[in-house]
Structure 1
Amino acid sequence: MTITLSRPELILKLIVEQYLLDGQPVSSKVLADNAQLAVSSATVRNTMMQLEQQGFIRSPHTSAGRIPTTSGMRLFIDKMLQLQPLTTLWASELQRKLTPQLPVSLLCQQAGQLLTNLTGFVTIISAPKAGGRMVRQIDLVRLASDRLLLVVIDEDGDILHRVLHCETAIDNNILSKVLCLLNAALGGGGQWQDGIARLGSIVRGESGVCQQLLQKVLGQLSLDELQQHQPLIFGQHQLLLTPEYQQNTALQQVMQMLEQPEGLVRLLHNITQDDTPKLLLGKESGYVELANVSVIAQRYQAQPARFIALVGPRRMNYARLIPLVEACARQLNLNLNRR
């Protein structure tokens, strides 16, 4: 689709495209030499002055070159950006790595790692078990006289398996009793969190070796439940390697935010209320820590609400990356609906 642009809009478009390409201020001479304009250098300079007065471009230092502001980038993306079709390579990678046979947690992990590998940016995925989960099966398997394997399977097929090291040997009577108590607390398709609460009450009523073993199981279940409700974050180290990070210490604040992501997760949940991709440019997020990065976010499931997001420098290739995040969300949604 051909977009008709005014001369100021075309000049802004050329400035943004060149800036996204090399990150350098764009001079009026470079623009005047562009065949798309066919105007004099004086006309270009006057138009650039007009764009600067309107807040769409700015001078980073005393040179004659200009770079786009957040407002200029927003106008470019909303009106001038033409999204590119997903590459064949990326499409095949999404289909190959994100298969419906994978349990939900592993599917989310695969999606996050794949998106980071393809882009080199940070990927954030909402907690795999954001809506709670049901226990389908729980078992204790003897490995040795003082070692047991705890196995818990939820309704999505995700498996928790942990080796429990006991201070004393566990005889068959104790093992049978503990297993019965675990099934009483967590069996029958109950909610994981409710089962943990019931198990806590049972632990307080027991004593000796039986109580010690139940406490070990309770600790593992509680830890796994906590982890399952944390967002998955991939590629933090990738951000450290970008030229922008090396030149701008403000990006170190982004790393701090990723280490304590509660505020960022709330933001992403709030903006992904429908099935269209969302793009936040720097200060648009309302967080000073994100002033120097962009975020592309997309919801991939409504109930429970789940999102996937890509975080990177402002100089992203938006034309390629927005369709990639959309396609990844679509593939996740398709696989989850097939269950």
Structure 2
Amino acid sequence: MTLALNRSELILKLIVEQYLLDGQPVSSKLLADHAQLAVSSATVRNTMMALEQQGLIRSPHTSAGRIPTTAGIRLFIDKMLQLQPLTSMWNNELQRRLTPQLPVSLLCQQAGQLLTNLTGFVAIVSAPKADGRIVRQIDLVRLASDRLLLVVIDEDGDILHRVLHCESAIDSNTLSKVLCLLNAALGGGGQWQDGIERLGSIVRSETGLCQQLLQKVLGQLSLDELQQHQPLIYGQHQLLLAPEYQQNPALQQVMQMLEQPDGLIRLLQTVTQDEQPKLLLGKESGFIELANVSVIVQRYQQQPKRFIALLGPRRMNYARLIPLVEACARQLNLNLNRRQVSP
């Protein structure tokens, strides 16, 4: 589809496209030589001056050329950007790596890792588990006289397995008793968090080796519950490789936000109210830490609400990356729906 643009819009489009390509200021001479423009350098300069007065482009201190502002990139994306079809290589990777047989947690992990591997940017996936997680099965398997394997399976098919090392040998009676107490606290399709609270009360009423074992189980269950409710973030180190951020103090602010992402996660939860991809450009996010980055985010499940996002420099190839995030969210949604309807 060919967009009908006036001269001012076309010049802005060319400036943004060139800037996204190489990150360098764009000169009026370069634009005047462009095949799509049949005007003089003076006309280009006058148009660029008008665009600058509108706040759509600006002049860096060290160059006579112009680069787009956040407002200029936003206008380009909203009105002029033409999305590219997903490449067959990327589509094949999504189909191969994101399969419905995977438990939910592993599916989310695969999606985040795949997104950062394909793009070289930071991938963010909302917490794999939502409140109300259900325990389907819990068991203790003897590995040795002083070692047990804790196995917990939730309703999504995710399996927690941890080796418990004990200070002394565990007799069969103690093992049977501990297993009965665990099933009383967590069995019967109860919620994980409620089971942890019941188990905490049981621990306080027991003594000796039985209490020690229950405390070890409680610690593992609590740790897993905490981890499953944290967002998954991949590729933070990729920011260190981006030319825009080398020796740039702004990088430190972004890295700190990714280490403590509660505010960012709340923002992404807020903007993903429908099935359409959303793009946050720099200061549009409301966070000064994100002034020099862009975030593409899309919801892939409504209940519980889950989203996937890609964070990188403002100089992204939006035409390729927005369809990739869309396709990744679509594949996740498809696989989760298949799991729900399967017998």
TM-score scaled to structure 2, two decimals?
Answer: 0.98
User: How many angstroms apart in 2 are the aligned matches of 1:265 and 1:57?
Assistant: 31
Residue 92 in 1 paired to residue 92 in 2? yes
The sequence identity of aligned pairs, in percent, is 88
In 2: Cα distance, 1:302 partner to 1:131 partner: 14
- Does structure 2 conserve the Cα–Cα contact (< 8 Å) formed by 1:300 and 1:308? yes
**Equivalent position amino acid for 1:132 in 2:** G
Alpha-carbon separation, structure 1, partners of 2:307 and 2:64 = 42
Note the residue ranges of structure 1 that are not aligned, 5 or more in a row: none
CA distance in 1, matches of 2:316, 2:147: 51
Matches within 5 A, 1:191-230: 191-230=191-230
For 1:322, give the aligned amino acid: I
The separation in 2 between residues aligned to 1:300 and 1:60, in whole angstroms, is 39
Q: Describe the SS at the equivalent of 1:86.
A: coil
Letter in 2 for 1:187: G
> In the TM superposition, what whole-angstrom CA distance separates every residue of 1:259-278 from its partner, at most 9, and x where no partner exists?
00000000000001110000
1:194-273 aligned within 5 A: 194-273=194-273
Distance 2:243 2:167 in 1: 52
Indicate the SS of the match to 2:246: helix
Q: Which amino acid aligns with 2:308?
A: I
Correspondence list, 1:124-139, <5 A: 124-139=124-139
1:6 is displaced (CA, Å) by 1.0
Instruction: Give the CA RMSD over aligned residues.
Output: 0.7
Aligned counterparts, 1:107-118, within 5 A: 107-118=107-118
Normalising by the residue count of structure 1, what TM-score does the alignment of the two structures yield?
Answer: 0.99
Please identify runs of 4+ aligned residues in structure 1 that moved more than 4 A.
Answer: none
> Does the CA contact (< 8 Å) of 1:272 and 1:297 recur in 2?
yes
Secondary structure, aligned partner of 1:148: strand
Secondary structure of residue in 2 paired with 1:152? strand
Deviation at 1:60, TM superposition (A): 1.1
Distance 1:132 1:107 in 2: 19
CA distance in 2, matches of 1:146, 1:229: 31
After superposition, the C-alpha distances for 1:173-201 in whole angstroms (9 at most, x for unaligned) are 00000000000000011100010011011
1:232-274: CA deviation from partner (whole Å, max 9, x where unpaired): 0000011111111105321221000000000000000000111
Structure 2 residue matching 1:60: 3-state secondary structure: coil
- For residue 63 of structure 1, report the CA deviation from its aligned partner: 2.0
Provide the C-alpha distance between the structure 1 equivalents of 2:50 and 2:136, rounded to a whole number of angstroms: 65
Q: 1:114-145 CA deviation, whole Å, 9 max, x = no partner? A: 00000000000000002431101000011111
Matched, 1:157 2:157: yes
Q: CA–CA distance in 1 between the matches of 2:8 and 2:250?
A: 31
Inter-partner Cα distance in structure 1 for 2:244 and 2:154: 43
Amino acid in the other structure paired with 2:165: H
- State the Cα deviation string for residues 278-304 of structure 1 (Å, max 9, x = none): 000000000000000000000000000
Q: How does 1:1-339 map to 2 (within 5 A)?
A: 1-339=1-339
Query: Structure 2: how far apart are the matches of 1:280 and 1:246?
Result: 22
Shift of 1:62: 4.2
Q: How many residues align?
A: 339
Q: CA deviation at 1:168?
A: 1.2
Instruction: Give how far 1:64 is off.
Output: 1.3
Partner SS state of residue 24, structure 1: coil
The amino acid across from 1:250 in the alignment is: A
1:46-84 Cα distance to aligned partner (Å, 9 max, x none): 000000000000011142100000000000000000000
- Alignment-mate amino acid for residue 205 of structure 2: G
